[in-house]
């Protein structure tokens, strides 16, 4: 059976679907359902708090991380024994003070990255708030600090027992485990809660840093938290123009990205290592990659996220030196007047896709981390937003076809031969149509290597099939979308077919919601939507059975016209 599509081998990522080959665990907004593969029935629906759920399955343990908005503890962690999936047993439920940023798991230890702020305990004020001028606001904030104690600045947690009663609120992160960056990065705290999933489930506040955090990357050894420089959050640093002291002006420099490194030790241990800074902004977690102890980081520097006339992209190499992530090299000038749409690192090779009107695919030689080299580039219309390895010297791209003016024309698969890094070639394409969630969520992508099966969800887009007369998704775009199934035959992409969960409600209108995940179990392809799960033959794509757990409308379906 297939597993969650993750960035790094050996590093699991929380997702909305898990399977052990016999049962499928599905999370949506109203809980988790356990579905028997043999019987195609829901065998259990364990009680959970409302919110968005992430799942981690480790043997006979299921960890559910819930982003709850009730109360001051925003993250709820539930650990179940699922040795008998028909009767899951709650082992522990803990409430953490803070919002979940990301969930990772290495060697049976879950690492929850949590962001906490303490507005209720530390009600700092801003100038002009409550009619306060700058001096009055400053004095009020000084008073708040003087009256605070160390526990006011640290996150807390409490347990919830099986009868619904709550334990005592207590600190979870020791003060000595909290680092402070050299540059002010906000008053919040980003920290790691570590849980031994095969243990008793007690969360351990392993390490933290006084900083915001929004992008997380983890290797098997280290975890990195990145954020835009705090002072840029509200428009960038402001300096006074000497020629007119009453007129502030903005610093013209680009907003940097701050990166904090934590080492993942034995058991639930984690320690802060170092912090560094690079110019520009990250696309996603894929913009970071660790190799031989160095961190490669790809960024775009532009005019606040747009296509600035002076935008360009750079790959930096950072190396820990004491408590600093030191920049040891960089290679810039990638995609001038463009921005990064996809990036992927494999070993000592990096691939960067930028786009504005055409799609340059850059191949970088990073074998000498102190002297990165641009090996080759390929310029083609459109872009790839997700890159996936599919064999020696082959790279698959999921993105959009486009015309010469940069107008997108629908989802497209592209197969690249990168065996010669100095001369990358696109050797096959397949017009899909519409738009795919894979462009922004890699977990929606499935590649089943044993037979080269490729599955991705597709929903209607502005261009549907674009200029293609018969794109693969054409038959399902008019009824709300579904998944498209393709295959890799050697060096050629081929269409297989489509699967749809669309459920019309009357003669003229239909209610559909996008399919979110696909998994392989033996000879079946399992497709999962918001309101149902379907088993189909992996070869013929004919449905065998489906399991529905509610009206699609209650899960925020979209309406389409069938007339």
Q: Provide the b/e sequence for 202-220 (b: ≥16 CB within 10 Å).
A: ebbbbbbbbbbbebbbbbe
d(CA 101, CA 45): 26
Mean pLDDT estimate for the chain: 85
d(CA 331, CA 349): 13
> Residues of the chain with pLDDT > 70: what percent?
85
56 vs 188: which has the higher pLDDT: 56
Task: Kindly tell me if the per-residue pLDDT of 509 is higher than 60.
Answer: no
Q: What is the pLDDT of residue 236?
A: 45
Confidence of residue 513 (pLDDT cuts 50, 70, 90): low
Q: What is the pLDDT of residue 30?
A: 81
pLDDT tens, 518-534? Answer: 999 999 999 998 888 99
Q: What is the pLDDT of residue 559?
A: 47
Average pLDDT value for residue range 412-436: 93
Average pLDDT value for residue range 71-75: 70
Confidence of residue 45 (pLDDT cuts 50, 70, 90): very high
- Give the pTM: 0.89
Task: Kindly tell me if the per-residue pLDDT of 345 is higher than 60.
Answer: yes
Task: Kindly tell me if the per-residue pLDDT of 358 is higher than 70.
Answer: no
Q: What is the pLDDT of residue 553?
A: 52
Asked whether 99 and 66 are in contact (CB, 8 A), the reply is no
d(CA 234, CA 221): 34
pLDDT tens, 273-314? Answer: 999 999 999 999 999 999 999 999 999 997 654 445 578 899
Task: Kindly tell me if the per-residue pLDDT of 322 is higher than 60.
Answer: yes
> Which ranges of 373-506 does DSSP label H, i.e. alpha helix?
474-477
d(CA 390, CA 367): 22
Confidence of residue 501 (pLDDT cuts 50, 70, 90): confident
Structure tokens at 512: 């559909």
Task: Kindly tell me if the per-residue pLDDT of 507 is higher than 60.
Answer: no
Q: What is the pLDDT of residue 415?
A: 96
Task: Kindly tell me if the per-residue pLDDT of 66 is higher than 90.
Answer: yes
Task: Kindly tell me if the per-residue pLDDT of 121 is higher than 70.
Answer: yes
Token look-up 């007339």 returns: 563
Closest CA to 213 of 114, 105, 327: 114
Task: Classify 554 as helix, strand or coil.
Answer: helix
Confidence of residue 73 (pLDDT cuts 50, 70, 90): low
405 vs 463: which has the higher pLDDT: 405
> Residue 456: beta bridge partners?
484
pLDDT tens, 206-245? Answer: 899 999 899 999 999 999 999 986 555 444 444 444 444 4
Helix H or strand E segment including 143: helix 134-147
Closest CA to 429 of 475, 375, 472, 480: 472
Task: Classify 381 as helix, strand or coil.
Answer: strand
Q: Which of 95-109, 132-146, 396-410 has the highest mean pLDDT?
A: 95-109
Average pLDDT value for residue range 417-445: 93
**41, exposed or middle or buried, with CB in 10 Å at 0-12, 13-18, 19+?**
exposed
Structure tokens at 310: 């002076």
Long-range contacts of 37-45 (CB under 8 A, 24+ apart): 37/521, 37/524, 37/526, 37/535, 40/535, 40/544, 40/545, 40/546, 40/547, 41/547, 42/547, 42/549, 43/85, 43/86, 44/85, 44/86, 44/87, 44/88
Q: What is the pLDDT of residue 381?
A: 85
Helix/strand/coil (H/E/C) assignment for every residue in 141-187: HHHHHHHCCHHHHCCEEEEECCCCCECCCEECCCHHHEECCCCCCCC
């Amino acid at each position: 059976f297939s597993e969650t599509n993750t960035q790094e081998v050996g590093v699991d990522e929380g997702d909305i679907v898990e399977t052990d080959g016999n049962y499928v665990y599905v999370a949506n907004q109203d809980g988790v359902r356990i579905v028997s593969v043999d019987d195609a029935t829901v065998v259990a629906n364990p009680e959970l708090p409302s919110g968005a759920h992430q799942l981690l399955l480790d043997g006979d343990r299921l960890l559910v991380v819930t982003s709850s908005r009730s109360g001051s503890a925003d993250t709820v962690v539930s650990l179940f024994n699922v040795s008998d999936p028909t009767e899951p047993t709650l082992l522990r439920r803990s409430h953490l003070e803070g919002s979940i940023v990301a969930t990772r798991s290495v060697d049976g230890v879950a690492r929850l990255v949590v962001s906490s702020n303490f507005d209720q305990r530390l009600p700092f004020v801003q100038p002009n708030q409550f009619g306060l001028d700058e001096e009055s606001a400053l004095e009020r904030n000084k008073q708040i600090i003087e009256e605070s104690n160390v526990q006011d600045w640290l996150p807390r947690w409490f347990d919830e027992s099986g009868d619904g009663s709550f334990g005592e609120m207590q600190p979870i992160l020791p003060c000595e485990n909290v680092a402070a960056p050299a540059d002010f990065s906000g008053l919040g705290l980003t920290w790691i809660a570590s849980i031994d999933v095969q243990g008793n489930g007690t969360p351990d506040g392993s390490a933290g840093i006084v900083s915001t955090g929004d992008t997380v990357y983890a290797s098997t050894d280290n975890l990195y938290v990145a954020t835009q420089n705090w002072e840029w959050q509200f428009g960038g640093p402001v300096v006074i123009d000497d020629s007119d002291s009453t007129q502030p002006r903005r610093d013209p420099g680009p907003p940097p990205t701050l990166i904090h490194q934590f080492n993942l030790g034995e058991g639930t241990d984690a320690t802060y290592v170092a912090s560094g800074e690079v110019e520009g902004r990250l696309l996603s977690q894929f913009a970071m990659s660790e190799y031989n102890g160095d961190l490669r980081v790809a960024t775009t520097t532009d005019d606040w996220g747009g296509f600035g006339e002076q935008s360009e992209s750079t790959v930096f190499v950072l190396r820990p030196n004491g408590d600093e992530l030191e920049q040891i090299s960089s290679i810039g000038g990638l995609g001038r007047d463009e921005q990064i749409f996809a990036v992927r690192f494999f070993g000592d090779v990096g691939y960067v896709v930028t786009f504005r009107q055409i799609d340059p695919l850059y191949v970088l030689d990073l074998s000498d981390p102190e002297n990165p080299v641009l090996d080759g580039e390929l310029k083609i219309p459109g872009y790839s937003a997700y890159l996936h390895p599919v064999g020696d010297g082959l790279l698959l791209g999921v993105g959009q076809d486009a015309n010469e003016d940069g107008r997108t024309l629908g989802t497209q698969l592209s197969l690249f031969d990168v065996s010669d890094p100095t001369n990358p070639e696109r050797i096959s394409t397949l017009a899909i149509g519409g738009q795919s969630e894979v462009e922004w969520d890699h977990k929606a992508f499935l590649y089943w290597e044993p037979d080269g099966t490729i599955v991705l969800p597709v929903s209607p887009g502005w261009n549907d099939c674009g200029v293609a007369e018969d794109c693969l998704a054409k038959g399902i775009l008019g009824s709300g979308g579904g998944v498209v199934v393709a295959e890799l035959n050697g060096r050629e992409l081929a269409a297989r077919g489509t699967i749809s969960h669309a459920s019309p409600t009357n003669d003229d209108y239909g209610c559909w919601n996008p399919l979110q995940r696909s998994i392989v179990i033996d000879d079946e392809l399992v497709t999962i939507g918001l309101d149902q799960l379907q088993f189909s033959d992996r070869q013929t794509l004919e449905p065998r059975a489906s399991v529905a757990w509610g009206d699609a409308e209650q899960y925020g379906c979209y309406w389409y016209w069938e007339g």
